[in-house]
Amino acid sequence: MVPTRIPAVALLVAVALAVTACAPSTGDGGFTDREGVRAVTTAESAAGGRGFELDVDDGRWEIHVAVGDREVDVRVSADGSAVESSEDDGDGIDADDRRALEAATTTLADALRIAASQSPGDDRIESASLERENDSAVWKIEFEGDAAVRVSGADGSIR
Mean pLDDT for the chain overall: 82
Confidence (pTM): 0.79
Of residues 53 and 98, the one with the higher pLDDT is 53
How confident is the model over 50-69, as a mean pLDDT? 94
10 pLDDT band, cuts 50/70/90, is very low
**CA 141/CA 144 separation, integer angstroms:** 10
Checking if the pLDDT of 17 tops 80, the result is: no
Query: Tell me: the pLDDT tens digits for 111-131?
Result: 999 999 987 666 689 999 999
Residue 157's Cα: distance from chain center in Å?
Answer: 18
Cβ partners under 8 Å of residue 102, min gap 6: none
- The more confidently predicted of residues 43 and 132 is 43
How far, in Å, CA of 14 to CA of 22, rounded? 13
Residue 51 confidence (pLDDT): 97
What is the helix, strand, coil percentage profile of the chain, to 5?
Answer: 35, 35, 30
Question: What is the predicted pLDDT for the residue at 118?
Answer: 87
More confident residue, 25 or 79: 79
End-to-end Cα distance, the chain: 62
* Rg from Cα positions in the chain: 19
Cβ distance 36 to 23 under 8 Å?
Answer: no
Please give the average per-residue pLDDT across 85-112, as a whole number: 91
Largest Cα separation within the chain, whole Å, is: 75
Contacts of 99 (CB under 8 A, 6+ apart): 132
Whether the pLDDT of residue 22 is over 60: the answer is: no
pLDDT tops 50 at residue 28: no
Q: Residue 151 contacts by C-beta under 8 Å, 6 or more apart in sequence?
A: 106, 111, 114, 115, 138, 139, 141, 157, 158, 159
